[in-house]
Every structure is written in structure tokens, then in C-alpha cells.
């Protein structure tokens, strides 16, 4: 059978053609220079973006991300119970309360507190005795209730035992104090309480408190 010359030439061309290996390689983009001027902020942005990808909550602006402490008693209600006044009222808000049993309250520590200029000028630290006093005031909120029978006129902080200061409390901290009644002797007007104070979830101060209720 006769084969046309053009068809034979095309067959021969297919058999003998060897494609150039370079012709099939992928073209790579040219390297680009990266400015390191804002390298620190870029790393931070990348980190935040990666964290946000892991947890959608982190995509929310930080000022909206955290809930505030609840308010069980505001400062006006606290003033109705405690006899203390400025500059010695060291409880700003009660955030949990179990009548006659326990209370959790906060003290917002600010550089405007009157004890900071002298304690200490170069390194402002809340005095340990004032942390203890603030905790005792929270104890007063527990004791000065009908469930316990404490008297505002005859209520005293009588003593403290096993007190420990774990770390300094500085301006800007929120001191969270829990006071729990562990023993009450109404006949003698004596109460024993356990107290712990926290900053950022870490214990900064703890001890056992003795209260005189004035009911004996």
C-alpha cells in the first residue's frame, strides 16, 4: 500500500524528536527583597493572626474579649455595712457573697492610692499590712450580717496567724480577696476566718484571721 511522502515525514519527525528538558521546567518567580524595618511588628502581627486562626475568640478586640467582674455589692452597699471611710476603705466591690459563710471582693490598686508616695517612691508596692487590712474588711462583710449576728459598733479585727506574703502587689493590680468563715463561737463573740488574696490567679497573701464580733 502506498504511503504519501508527507505522512511518512511526519511519522519520522515524531520518532526522532527529543524534547528539550529545560523547555518543560517550571518558571520560578524571581526572589524579592524583604524590608526588615518593621520586622518586629510583622512577627507580632503574624503571631496574632496564627493564634486567631487557632481560636476564633482571639479575633475579637482585646477590650471586648474579657468579661468584667460581676457586681454583687457596689461601693454604696459596702459603705452601708462597713464603718470605714476614705482613705481607709480598702474594698471596692463584692463579686461573690454567701451570707454568713464567705465573700469575694476586689480592691483596684492604683498609683493614686495615698500610701504609694511613701511606700516606696522609686518602687511603689502596696504595704502588706494594708493587704491584711483589706482582707479583714472583706471578713467584716461576712460577719456583719444577720446570719452571724455581728455588731457594726462592736466588731474588731482581733488577730492574725500564719500570714504569708507570696509576691508584691503593685499599682495597676486588681487584688481579689476571698474570706471564709471556718469557726464561729457566738457565746464568746469570736470568729475564725481563712483568707487568701490573689492577683492574676496567683496567691499573693494568705493567713488565718481572728474576729471579735461583739455579740458575747
Q: Give the architecture-level CATH label for domain 75-212.
A: Roll (3.10)
Note the pTM of the prediction, 2 decimals.
0.70
Assess contact for 142 and 100: CB atoms under 8 A. Answer: yes
Per-residue pLDDT of the chain (216 residues; tens, 9 = 90+): 454 555 455 544 544 445 444 444 445 555 554 444 444 444 444 445 455 556 666 688 888 887 888 899 999 999 999 999 999 999 999 999 998 899 999 999 999 999 999 999 999 999 999 999 999 999 999 988 776 666 666 678 899 999 999 999 999 999 999 999 999 888 888 899 999 999 999 999 999 999 987 654
What local confidence, expressed as pLDDT, does residue 10 receive?
52
pLDDT at 145: 78
Residue 52: all three cell numbers together: 486567631
Judge whether 119 counts as a catalytic residue.
yes
> Nearest Cα to 213, choosing from 152, 168, 171, 135?
152
Long-range contacts, 73-76 (Cβ 8 Å, 24+): 73/97, 73/105, 73/141
User: Active-site residue among 84, 119, 166, 192?
Assistant: 119
d(CA 184, CA 146): 14
Residue recorded with cell 482585646: 62
pLDDT score for 171:
96
What is the rounded distance in angstroms from the CA atom of residue 5 to the CA atom of residue 203?
97
Which grid cell is 178?
Answer: 476571698
| pLDDT of 27 | 53
Amino acid at each position: 500500500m502506498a504511503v504519501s511522502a508527507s505522512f511518512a515525514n511526519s511519522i519520522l519527525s515524531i520518532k526522532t524528536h527529543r524534547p528539550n528538558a529545560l523547555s518543560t521546567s517550571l518558571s520560578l518567580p524571581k526572589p524579592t527583597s524583604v524590608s526588615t524595618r518593621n520586622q518586629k511588628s510583622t512577627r507580632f502581627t503574624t503571631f496574632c493572626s496564627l493564634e486567631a486562626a487557632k481560636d476564633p475568640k482571639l479575633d475579637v478586640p482585646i477590650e471586648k474579649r474579657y468579661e468584667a467582674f460581676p457586681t454583687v455589692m457596689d461601693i454604696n452597699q459596702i459603705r452601708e455595712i462597713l464603718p470605714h471611710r476614705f482613705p481607709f476603705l480598702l474594698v471596692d466591690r463584692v463579686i461573690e457573697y454567701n451570707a454568713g459563710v464567705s465573700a469575694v471582693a476586689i480592691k483596684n490598686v492604683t498609683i493614686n492610692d495615698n500610701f504609694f508616695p511613701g511606700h516606696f517612691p522609686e518602687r511603689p508596692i502596696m504595704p502588706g499590712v494594708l493587704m491584711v487590712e483589706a482582707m479583714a474588711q472583706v471578713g467584716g462583710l461576712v460577719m456583719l450580717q444577720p446570719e452571724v449576728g455581728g455588731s457594726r459598733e462592736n466588731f474588731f479585727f482581733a488577730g492574725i496567724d500564719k500570714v504569708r506574703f507570696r509576691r508584691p502587689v503593685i499599682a495597676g493590680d486588681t487584688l481579689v480577696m476571698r474570706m471564709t468563715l471556718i469557726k464561729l463561737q457566738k457565746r464568746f463573740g469570736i470568729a475564725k476566718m481563712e483568707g487568701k488574696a490573689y492577683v492574676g490567679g496567683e496567691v499573693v497573701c494568705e493567713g488565718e484571721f481572728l474576729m471579735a464580733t461583739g455579740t458575747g
